[in-house]
Amino acid sequence: MSGSLGQARYVHVLGAPLLVTSYADLTRRCVDWAGRTRPTTVAFSNTQIVTLIRHDPAFRRVMETFDCLVSDSTPLTWCMNLAGAGLRDRVYGPAFMRYFLECAPAGSTHYLVGGSEECAERLCRRFTAANPGLRFVGGYHGRCLPDGSLDPADEERVLAEINALAPDYLWICFGAPKQQRWAARYKPHLRRGVVLVVGFAFEANAGLKPDAPLWMQRAGLTWLYRMATEPRRLGPRYVKYNSLFLWYLVWDGVRGRAWGSWPAPSS
């Protein structure tokens, strides 16, 4: 399958290298990456993540361990298009999870990390009904600490289970920035597999939390809808990082560094 993939193109926004891709293109790449004998990490990134990369050196080092960053934010995609990306849409984490699992190759194996057991059961039922060839081989639904580490009582067992099962795809949902730290911390301990950090995708696709209407998504207002539905948890976060994003965009824009082409990382 690798021969059918085009050369990867990246555009940076505030210094974060974002892959120029689509749902279909990223699907092809994930299938190709699953054939590697090492893990590949993919982060679906919004303005908060890009701002943290720009603002926080420690988090920047975390994100430098990722093989691929994808814009799942409409405003980020607008910035990429101003740099010539020519994208028709973002690649939104919850929508990509649906798109991919409904057309993933028969026999592909999947492991769910994060969320509740009820959430995992709903996801398994939904996606095996849509694509009976899928195999959900396991999951972990315990604690993730702020530094991205698992509960010490579970860590050794969970890593041993993941490596014994060697799933093609690991789907990670602990919320930002814990889930990114999880992927960076445990990547060196994984044998193989595509690690997809998708956040809100578990609850949205399991029907446990509502997603923004399509018109709000297209208008770049997903953040506003989510803030309105979870104001105490998300309100302070969105106010802080959306404001910082705009500040850095203006500041870097004055110097001609807000967005532009980026050399493709070595793979």
Dump the DSSP string for 190-218.
--SEEEEE-TTHHHHHHTSSPPPPHHHHH
Q: Report the pLDDT value the prediction gives residue 261, as an integer from 0 to 100.
A: 62
In a domain, 145, yes or no: yes
In a domain, 244, yes or no: no
- The count of domains in the chain is 1
Q: Which stretches within 34-140 are classed as H helix?
A: 47-55, 57-63, 74-82, 93-103, 117-130
In whole angstroms, give the CA distance from residue 79 to residue 76. 5
Structural domain span for residue 139: 10-202
In a domain, 98, yes or no: yes
Query: Cα 214 to the chain's mean position, in Å?
Result: 20
pLDDT digits (tens, 9 = 90+) for 126-163: 999 999 999 999 999 999 999 999 999 999 999 999 99
Residue with the two structure tokens 């095996």: 128
In a domain, 193, yes or no: yes
Name the helix (H) or strand (E) containing 142. Answer: none
In a domain, 2, yes or no: no
In a domain, 50, yes or no: yes
Q: Report the pLDDT value the prediction gives residue 266, as an integer from 0 to 100.
A: 46
In a domain, 267, yes or no: no
Q: Report the pLDDT value the prediction gives residue 257, as an integer from 0 to 100.
A: 80
pLDDT less than 50: residues of the chain? 1-4, 263, 265-267
Percent of the chain predicted with pLDDT > 90:
90
Nearest to 239 by CA among 220, 261, 224: 224
In a domain, 162, yes or no: yes
- Cβ neighbours, 10 Å, residue 248: 20
pLDDT digits (tens, 9 = 90+) for 242-256: 999 999 999 988 888
Would the pTM count as exceeding 0.75? Answer: yes
Parallel, antiparallel, or unpaired: how do β-strands 109-114 and 169-173 relate? parallel
